[in-house]
Amino acid sequence: MPLKRNTNVAKPAETETQKTPDVDPAPPIGESTAQVMEDDTPPFEVNEQVLQETLVKTSVVETAQPVQPQEQAIATQSQSTIPATTATATTGMLAGLDDLGFEGLELGWGSFTSIKLDNGKFADSEENNLGTEIECILMSTKAKYILKNTKCMQDDEEVYYSYDREVATDGTPTEDIIAEWTAQGWGFEWKTYLDAFAQLVDETGEPTEMVVLSLPPTARPKISGYLSRIKLTKGLGNPQQYITRCKVGPDVKKEGKTWNPWVFQFVKQLRD
């Protein structure tokens, strides 16, 4: 029996922050507009199991007074120091709440706000405009794979998400999905995205809320290079030891399209 189409899953935006014309031309018959280019904006989808693994990995993030920053801070940033022994627990967040009458709580998809770069500005999953810069403490990253059908009519396009390329987040084996598409004469493709779990910080450097940064394929080598550079030049091998600024990069033109990349900058180190 053929698989039921996963029509409830949102499709990724066309590009990371692509500036599109007023009217997008329809794709040629047999080609999919769902094809993900290297500068696509990833969709908002956080797997509960991955979230729990992240919460265990990150444990407790302790922040104290920052040392002198080695890169220029944004002009609006306060010079106030972070209070000593400020700590944000990311594991055991719900511990003790049962005793207070808060039963049945569970962390999973939707527990934390997702942030993407779209149309030259950062926006959350509620489409709130967050401007062109955000500062955060990076907690962990997790690869996220998108499986899409190709060589089909636009109305037949489908998108599935997976964290292991074997089972989709809705529980469907990916080989079954591919088999159904193949039987209908369609092709398929995989694209790799990245979920970066992070804590936003305010103008004083104080951690505020936990978020998930949805990074497209082009941002993966950028954040990889950034983390490696900070490790080599500053001796900071743990991104939880410092604050990172995420910025909207300058316009990039490719194949007649314009988009803005993610830019990562070191702000300041947090004392032990």
pLDDT 10s digits, 37-50: 444 554 445 555 55
Secondary structure (H, E, C), 192-237: EEEEEEEEEECCCCCEEEEEEEEECCCHHHHHHHHHHHHHHHHCCC
pLDDT of residue 108: 65
Q: 199, 210, 254: which is closest to 16 by C-alpha? A: 254
Mean pLDDT of the chain: 74
The reported pLDDT for the residue numbered 198 is 95
**pLDDT for res 214:** 92
What integer pLDDT is reported at residue 87 of this predicted model? 29
pLDDT at 81: 25
pTM: 0.63
| Per-residue model confidence (pLDDT) at position 154 | 92
* 272 residues of the chain, pLDDT tens digit each: 455 455 444 444 444 444 443 333 333 333 333 334 444 554 445 555 555 554 444 443 333 333 333 322 222 222 222 222 222 333 456 788 888 989 888 776 677 899 999 889 999 988 899 999 999 999 999 999 999 999 999 999 999 999 899 999 899 999 999 999 999 999 999 999 999 999 999 988 889 999 999 999 999 999 999 999 999 999 999 999 999 999 999 999 888 888 899 999 999 999 76
Antiparallel, parallel or unpaired: β 242-248 and 262-269:
antiparallel
pLDDT digits (tens, 9 = 90+) for 10-22: 444 444 444 443 3
Q: Is the CA virtual torsion 125, 129, 132, 135 positive or negative?
A: negative
